[in-house]
Amino acid sequence: MTATTAPAGSRNRYIDTLRAVAIVRVIVYHAFGWAWLSFVLPAMGVMFAIAGSLMAASLAKAAARQAVWSRIRRLLPALWVFGAIAVPVMLWHGWKVTDPDHPLHKLQLIFWVFPLEDPPGSSWGEPFWEVLWYLRAYLLFVLVSPLLWLLYKRLSWAVVLAPLAALGVLVHTGFRLPDQIDGVMWDFVTYAACWIAGFAHRDGRLARLPLTVLVPAIAALGAYGGYYLFTHPTEYGYDLNSVPIARTFWSLAFVLIALRVKPSMAFLDKVPALAEGIRVVNARAITIYLWHYPLITVAAMVLEHFGVPWATPSYIGWMLVIETALVLAAVLVFGWVEDVSAHRKASLWPRAARVLAPVVGPVMAAMPSGPIMINGTPIGTPITPSAHGQGHRATPKT
């Protein structure tokens, strides 16, 4: 394995490609619920690691306040525009305090402005809000990154391993916080190791780690994660996202490989359409993330209207075509918000960047805590509560 560095003044096409593939994987997973995708590419761990790497880049060259604010500034406007549509639609459709599962609490609407907790929504409107847990998790990592960066510079790899120990303590003691913040704690512990591994990627410690140390570490992490997954299957099969310990260990092992191996990606010069697709996905990552899930619901309604049988090759093909078209439409209609929040000239189609941007918006991968239902038909695979407790939304799958 070799480590390479992108030339100054150019984007890191490998990181861009890795992020774009993770986004596409998230969309496909949410559309069809294929469990095998969760361990073939643990997209959430990958995206947290990339975001952590880029956060470290900003912390290394700018004041902590500036680094944190730059990410908040790029995240929130797109959420505000999304919420300005989603919340009125849910209210119009009858979201009230009498909602049996997700009653309206007006004070909680503040989390659509600054998501320290999950932005709330109605039972009917789950496709709007179910995946927004990732924005909350990402925002928390951004806010605590100055402290994590300081600890990492002093304690190095011990800070990467600390969340693994914390996860084991939580699982085996059954410790829980109040429902409103229990999920926040679990998401942080689950993905903190990947985020901090991104620090090691950025400052070169991962590249300098001898293979005689790195390879056995990756093997041990992956083996334990795989063992735990296959000895703790869920009723839906071997879905990595339903088993927190397996998800954490497997994701970290994958991340250490993905960030250490950095191919040049020169073949993209020969496939301009693919290169352009990767560029656009990265430039409109927040928009794609916010809109892809409700648009899956729209696509499923269209297919149901025309009587296309669920999970058939025809259904899979048409779902991919319709969802792609709808996401492209969302990019054209709402993507300019990302230009404005990044202090760029607004454009319908993202302009090519000249240099490697030090700031990345959350790119995601997220998952619902339950299936989207249309007249009783599930879209994707139902999600079981994760092993860390009951009474609150399960830790999302990706």
**Owner of token pair 């990044």:** 342
CB 194 within 8 A of CB 45: yes
Q: What angle do CA 291, 248, 244 make, to 5 degrees?
A: 80
Strands (E) across the chain are located at 372-374, 377-379
Q: What angle do CA 155, 159, 162 make, to 5 degrees?
A: 135
Other beta carbons within 10 angstroms of residue 351's beta carbon come to 11
What is the pLDDT tens value at each position of the chain, 398 positions in all? Answer: 333 334 434 578 999 999 999 999 999 999 999 999 998 999 999 999 999 999 999 999 989 999 999 999 999 999 999 999 999 999 999 999 999 899 999 999 999 999 999 999 999 999 999 999 999 999 999 999 999 999 999 999 999 999 999 999 998 898 999 887 899 999 999 999 999 999 999 999 999 999 999 999 999 999 999 999 999 887 777 888 888 899 999 999 999 999 999 898 999 999 999 999 999 999 999 999 999 999 999 999 999 999 999 999 999 999 999 999 999 999 999 999 999 999 999 999 998 765 443 334 444 433 333 444 444 444 443 333 333 333 333 334 55
CA distance 217 to 344: 42
Question: What is the pTM (predicted TM-score) of this model?
Answer: 0.86
Q: Which stretches of 93-210 are DSSP H helices?
A: 126-129, 133-155, 157-173, 179-203, 205-208
Return the domain boundaries, the chain.
13-379
Q: Which helix (H) or strand (E) holds 204?
A: none
